[in-house]
């Protein structure tokens, strides 16, 4: 080593004693030090004394610009005298013991680690080696090792591993020497290659000679030994070696001993060290098997249960939980197949994709579980549930589109105009001359002269199949129709027919007062005249209405018929206190009906019996709340008629109570549920008890759709009764696990083997004062808002009869976690080792013999939509242009409605007709994903506002022509799917190339937009309403070339990035007026995985700059006035109305733009001060562009919540990005 020259620290006198000594030892380096050993010892001892007694001396050596460290290291490297070497080691120990690690980093940067290894190897060759020297060398190496990233490699290359292991083996009883050696071994083992090398020289077996049973002596030594062993066992090879040596049982025995004797919890770190060793061993399959064979589940479960009351023992409980969950044998879902219980034959099978793979599997292939679902390596172990943020951000950054050619909006109208001309009939308003109209006249002369409408559909029952009304506690009939084929509902396709004589005849309801929508909060008031003079508070009105008397529905057999054979329906009494007499559903095809009286219940038929209940022939009486008074757009009788016309694959013959009665939004806000500490852990422990105490498990099937004719299993005991055989229902199987605990299995989307998330089912036969636990065991998403305050929804029939017909958030001990049911690679897109997730919640019922419904979110069926559209016509005034067309017929034989709403022209003058035809178009769609029911509630708010009588609504109709497809996926909604249509595909991934047979609604909707683009009338705004399952608030996704380029770091010239920023105006307006809307959660980045969604295709191919997806949370809000509350239908409908108001403001801005520069307009009107943003997820605008752009969360579509304070267990990586949003 070259001799460095001394440099004194600035400000330190040159005659400093320390500098003199350092200069002296520098001159002695080399042969002089070997010749004059005593002088070297003397000088190094004096330097040590100065450092020990004068703090200033250490600072002088370590100060910037000083070469003192180089001098000391050079002396150490050249020294051959043991005492002098020890003195220098003492000096280094003193120097490196001060500070927070900076001095160690300097030492490492000067090559100190390599010199220490040289001394260690040289000392090991002495016979015998100096134990004192070895002790201090290892002490110093233990201090330096964690700061040197290449420490492990240096140790391995120098041969230090063998030296340390040999030293430990020879000094097992020498505690003083053993401790620093174990410290160094722990650092060695952090390098996986070193760990494997140490295993080959029996390092694992050596550690088991050191650790032992409970003792109050040498606890520090034991702790370090366990840390070293834990690091060694991260190697699969070493873990197998430990299993082969029978050490799993040894570790469990030691843990039991320490748990039993450490009564004062003073040695938690030792107990945790033993668990870490077990955790690392069980990362391999052999380790998990050895753990089970050694009764490890029972041992850890019992010990952890005893630790639960002591909060300080949570680290032990959490690690034990990880081990037990990992070792819990993967179970098979209790299903014969992962395919849906309902079968629908497609007209043809797609050439590729998941549906093609589904049909390509030969018969008999087990798609529920793989032959071996147990990976050799388990998932990464962490102590938190949500360690996905960095992974998600990385994935999202990779997902950003980087091809500039794909980012430029280019109209791709590949279809010839002759082919698109057939869609001209859907745009009569663009050519209407109104010569045959009497403007300002009666409603009947206003519109809809040519198109079949949902209202006409309601008058033309396409099938007269029987319907049971209502379904509560009704046992399914003995002969349930088997799932039908595609043609079962198509016997009258395209033909308008009169209702058959067997169909239920409805009494026209009283005229419905139009809604007052002058304000944004969709208050439904009773008397418009009274409101005009004295406007009451909307909530108070509804609350007042709730306590009104309710009607009774008498389900009595009507013996007197009209001359034509149809039933006569008679209404008597006042509208409030009347008893409505309607035909008993028993007569509608002989299906047994429910008899309800005074809160009790009887069943019309058991599953195995024949015919109806002996009393059922005379009819039954059911008190029904008069929700028509509270809900102007709801009519139970009309709903039944709509259900008759709805075609479902299972041929549902029942109606759910909530859909029949309707839902009145509660007048109170429902706060986010505060999660109790340890709730997930306690649920997991209850699951583990099933394995430990299998005799306590009933495992009794009480409901099963896979039983063809009798899904409700006959039961003489005290089990709950389940049902999901109604529109939008989803529950495939219910298994009674314990007396008050039920495992529930959801049905897959039809023609699919996954997408299990949406649920809607009925429960009856409950007891009061008993806490029931429900576990939905085959959820697929890796996280859920159920972990962050969201509750399930429940509808109680008893509460409805008592005057509270509404869905309410309910459930306690709610959590969502990975379970022990294996997900086959066939159902997981080829990935092995995946598991399902459990949503668990507890519920105590308030009423005996109640009938309750549970749902993922507020249900909104296709029949509900048809009923609402029919009732919306009653709101039409002579000033409103409303036309309802049938866009197309779906695969399942249902009609997809298309609405046109605008204002009638002021007169028939050519000027007014011209203005009418040239209004900008707004194109809205919703419910492409059936499980996102909140999108339909937002759409309901939009439609009610558009049909309202307020000045704002009138102005909006005069400003635009609205084309609306309120439900893009009727078949999926009807059949209880979560994401797909009957084709088994996500329709919002088919917009690039939709198939007219498999994706008719998307094909024809896109054709409408292509037609508009051809005639130069592309919409001003396109917005697709969606729901979001893993984020809060309402927000938007849009499309921006510039923002995508900035986030992808691709090179582009300024001319490439020219872009009108008008796409940000509408979401910015919403952020100003809508309390639930969050601009910070909105994103305008284009991703590769979203290139076939409606938003991107309409932006890129149709050329609509303002093309959006508006996402509404399923949970609640974390900002604004709704912060801390779960979202309800009132807030969702309000959001739909506020979207309309935002469009009106947008129109005014665009109109004003004709008179001033567009870049400055939005900033002036919105009046947001300019600000400079430094967030890493935000870009800074150029000076000539608007400065009101706020920070953007570009990870918005990850659907992930930030980690919560209490995240107890490890979570799995995020599922495929295409399931997250849009």
> Is the Cβ–Cβ distance between 1082 and 1067 less than 8 Å?
yes
Read out DSSP for 454-472? Answer: HHHHHTS-S-----BS--T
Which H or E run includes 18? helix 17-28
Catalytic residue among 654, 1043, 1111, 1134: 1111
Query: 467 to each of 125, 646, 793, 1195, how far by Cα in Å?
Result: 94, 11, 25, 47
Encoding tokens for residue 547? Answer: 């306590």
Q: Using the 8-state DSSP alphabet, how is residue 620 labeled?
A: E
Nearest to 472 by CA among 116, 725, 211, 107: 725
Nearest to 187 by CA among 158, 153, 215, 221: 153
Return the C-alpha torsion angle 70, 72, 74, 77, nearest 10.
-140
Label residue 352 exposed, middle or buried (CB < 10 Å: 0-12, 13-18, 19+): exposed
Which residues pair with residue 812 across a beta bridge? Answer: 842
Encoding tokens for residue 169? Answer: 């083996």
Could you identify the residue written with the tokens 């707004």?
922
Encoding tokens for residue 90? Answer: 């003492």
Return the C-alpha torsion angle 656, 657, 663, 667, nearest 10.
-140
> Is the Cβ–Cβ distance between 1127 and 934 less than 8 Å?
yes
Nearest to 332 by CA among 373, 288, 297: 373
Clarify whether 1091 is annotated catalytic.
no
Q: Strand 700-704 to strand 733-738: parallel, antiparallel, or no bridges (unpaired)?
A: antiparallel
| φ/ψ (deg, to 5) at 159 | 85, 15
Encoding tokens for residue 849? Answer: 């013999």
| φ/ψ (deg, to 5) at 812 | -125, 170
The span from the first CA to the last CA of the chain, in angstroms, equals 65
CB count, 10 Å around CB of 505?
Answer: 16
DSSP alpha helix (H) spans, 211-284: 219-232, 236-244, 247-261, 268-281
How many Å apart are CA 541 and CA 535, to the nearest integer?
Answer: 10
How many Å apart are CA 803 and CA 798, to the nearest integer?
Answer: 9
Rg (CA), the chain: 37
How many Å apart are CA 342 and CA 751, to the nearest integer?
Answer: 8
How many Å apart are CA 117 and CA 152, to the nearest integer?
Answer: 11
User: Does a cis peptide bond (omega within 30 degrees of 0) precede residue 470?
Assistant: yes
Encoding tokens for residue 392? Answer: 């998600």
Specify the 3-state DSSP secondary structure of 821: strand
Label residue 380 exposed, middle or buried (CB < 10 Å: 0-12, 13-18, 19+): exposed
How many Å apart are CA 675 and CA 949, to the nearest integer?
Answer: 44
| Active centre residues (catalytic) | 1111
């Amino acid at each position: 080593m070259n001799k460095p020259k001394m440099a004194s620290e600035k400000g330190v006198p040159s005659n400093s004693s320390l500098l003199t000594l350092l200069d002296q030892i520098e001159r002695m380096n080399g042969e002089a030090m070997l010749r004059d050993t005593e002088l070297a010892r003397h000088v190094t001892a004096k330097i040590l004394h100065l450092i020990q007694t004068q703090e200033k001396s250490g600072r002088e050596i370590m100060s910037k610009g000083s070469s003192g460290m180089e001098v000391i290291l050079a002396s150490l490297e050249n020294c051959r005298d043991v005492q002098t070497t020890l003195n220098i080691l003492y000096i280094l120990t003193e120097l490196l013991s001060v500070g927070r690690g900076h001095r160690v980093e300097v030492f490492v940067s000067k090559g100190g680690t390599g010199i220490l290894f040289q001394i260690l190897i040289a000392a090991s060759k002495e016979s015998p080696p100096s134990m004192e020297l070895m002790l201090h060398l290892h002490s110093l190496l233990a201090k330096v090792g964690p700061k040197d990233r290449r420490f492990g490699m240096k140790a391995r290359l120098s041969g230090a591993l063998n030296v340390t292991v040999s030293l430990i083996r020879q000094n097992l009883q020498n505690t003083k020497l053993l401790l620093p050696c174990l410290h160094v071994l722990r650092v060695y083992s952090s390098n996986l290659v070193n760990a494997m090398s140490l295993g080959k020289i029996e390092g694992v077996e050596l550690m088991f000679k050191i650790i032992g049973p409970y003792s109050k002596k040498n606890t520090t030594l034991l702790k370090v030994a366990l840390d070293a062993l834990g690091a060694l066992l991260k190697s699969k090879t070493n873990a197998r070696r430990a299993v082969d040596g029978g050490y799993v049982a040894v570790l469990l025995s030691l843990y039991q001993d320490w748990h039993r004797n450490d009564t004062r919890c003073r040695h938690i770190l030792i107990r945790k060290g033993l668990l870490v060793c077990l955790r690392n061993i069980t990362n391999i399959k052999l380790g998990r098997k050895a753990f089970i064979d050694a009764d490890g589940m029972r041992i850890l479960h019992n010990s952890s249960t005893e630790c639960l009351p002591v909060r300080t023992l949570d680290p032990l409980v959490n690690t034990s939980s990880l081990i037990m969950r990992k070792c819990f044998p993967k179970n098979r879902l209790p299903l014969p197949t992962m395919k849906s219980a309902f079968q629908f034959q497609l007209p043809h099978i797609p050439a590729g994709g998941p549906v093609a793979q589904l049909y390509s599997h030969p018969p008999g292939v087990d798609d529920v579980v793989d032959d071996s679902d147990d990976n050799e390596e388990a998932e990464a172990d962490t102590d938190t549930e949500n360690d996905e943020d960095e992974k998600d951000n990385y994935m999202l950054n990779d997902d950003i589109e980087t091809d500039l050619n794909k980012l430029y909006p280019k109209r791709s109208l590949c279809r010839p105009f002759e082919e698109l001309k057939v869609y001209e009939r859907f745009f009569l308003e663009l050519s209407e001359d109104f010569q045959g109209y009497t403007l300002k006249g009666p409603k009947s002369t206003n519109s809809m002269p040519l198109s079949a409408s949902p209202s006409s559909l309601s008058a033309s029952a396409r099938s007269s199949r029987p319907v049971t009304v209502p379904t509560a506690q009704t046992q399914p009939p003995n002969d349930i129709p088997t799932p039908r084929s595609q043609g079962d509902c198509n016997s009258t396709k395209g033909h308008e027919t009169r209702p058959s004589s067997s169909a239920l005849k409805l009494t026209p309801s009283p005229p419905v007062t139009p809604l007052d929508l002058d304000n944004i909060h969709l208050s439904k008031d009773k008397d418009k005249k009274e409101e005009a003079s004295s406007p009451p508070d909307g909530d108070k009105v509804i609350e007042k209405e709730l306590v009104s008397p309710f009607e009774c529905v008498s389900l009595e057999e009507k013996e007197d018929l009209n001359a034509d054979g149809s039933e006569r329906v008679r209404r008597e009494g006042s509208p409030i206190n009347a008893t409505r007499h309607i035909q008993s559903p028993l007569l509608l095809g002989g299906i047994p009906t429910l008899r309800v009286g005074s809160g009790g219940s009887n069943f019309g038929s058991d599953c195995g019996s024949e015919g109806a209940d002996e009393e059922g022939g005379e009819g039954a009486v059911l008190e029904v709340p008069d929700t028509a008074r509270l809900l102007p757009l709801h009519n139970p009788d009309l709903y039944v008629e709509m259900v008759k016309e709805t075609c479902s694959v299972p041929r549902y013959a029942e109606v759910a109570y909530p859909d029949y009665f309707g839902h009145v939004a509660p007048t109170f806000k429902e706060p986010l549920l505060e999660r109790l500490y340890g709730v997930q852990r306690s649920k997991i422990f209850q699951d583990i008890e099933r394995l430990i105490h299998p005799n306590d498990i009933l495992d009794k099937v009480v409901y099963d759709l896979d039983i063809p004719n009798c899904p409700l299993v006959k039961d003489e005991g005290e089990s709950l009764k389940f049902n999901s055989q109604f529109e939008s229902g989803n529950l495939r199987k219910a298994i009674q696990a314990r007396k008050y605990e039920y495992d529930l299995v959801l049905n897959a989307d039809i023609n699919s083997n996954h997408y299990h998330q949406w649920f809607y089912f009925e429960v009856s036969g409950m007891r009061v004062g008993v806490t029931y636990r429900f576990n939905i065991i085959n959820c697929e998403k890796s996280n859920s808002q159920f972990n962050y305050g969201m509750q399930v929804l429940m509808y109680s029939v008893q509460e409805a009869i008592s005057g509270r017909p509404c869905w309410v958030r309910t459930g306690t001990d709610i959590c969502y976690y990975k379970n022990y049911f294996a997900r086959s690679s066939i159902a997981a897109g080829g990935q092995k080792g995946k598991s399902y997730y459990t949503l668990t919640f507890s519920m105590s019922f308030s009423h005996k013999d109640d009938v309750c419904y549970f749902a993922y979110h507020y249900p909104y069926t296709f029949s509900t939509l048809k009923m609402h559209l029919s009732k919306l016509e009653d709101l039409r005034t002579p000033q409103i242009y409303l036309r309802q067309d049938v866009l197309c017929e779906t695969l399942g034989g249902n009609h997809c409605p298309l609405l046109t709403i605008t204002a009638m022209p002021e007169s028939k003058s050519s000027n007014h007709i011209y203005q009418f035809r040239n209004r900008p178009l707004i194109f809205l769609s919703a419910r492409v994903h059936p499980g996102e029911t909140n999108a339909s509630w937002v759409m309901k708010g939009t439609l009610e506002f558009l049909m309202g009588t307020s000045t704002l609504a009138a102005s909006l109709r005069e400003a635009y022509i609205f084309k609306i497809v309120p439900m893009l996926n009727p078949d999926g909604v009807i059949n209880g799917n979560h994401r797909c249509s009957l084709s088994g595909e996500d329709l919002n991934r088919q917009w690039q190339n939709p198939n007219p047979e498999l994706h008719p609604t998307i094909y024809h909707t896109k054709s409408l937009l292509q037609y508009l683009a051809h005639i130069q009338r592309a919409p001003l705004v396109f917005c697709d309403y969606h729901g979001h399952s893993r984020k809060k608030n309402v927000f938007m996704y849009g499309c921006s070339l510039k923002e995508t380029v900035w986030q992808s770091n691709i090179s582009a010239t300024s001319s490439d990035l020219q872009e009108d920023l008008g796409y940000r105006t509408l979401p910015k307006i919403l952020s100003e007026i809508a309390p639930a809307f969050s601009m910070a959660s909105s994103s305008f980045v284009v991703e590769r995985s979203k290139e076939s969604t409606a938003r991107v295709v309409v932006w890129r191919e149709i050329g609509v700059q303002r093309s959006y997806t508006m996402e509404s949370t399923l949970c609640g809000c974390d900002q604004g006035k709704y912060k801390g509350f779960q979202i309800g239908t009132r807030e969702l409908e309000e959001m739909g109305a506020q979207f309309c108001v935002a469009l009106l403001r947008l129109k005014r801005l665009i109109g004003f733009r004709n008179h001033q520069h567009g870049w400055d307009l939005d900033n002036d009107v919105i009046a947001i001060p300019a600000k400079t943003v430094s967030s890493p997820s935000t870009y800074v605008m150029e000076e000539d562009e608007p400065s009101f752009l706020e920070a953007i969360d570009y990870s918005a579509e990850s659907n992930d919540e930030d980690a919560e304070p209490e995240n107890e267990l490890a979570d799995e990586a995020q599922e495929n990005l295409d399931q997250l949003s849009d």
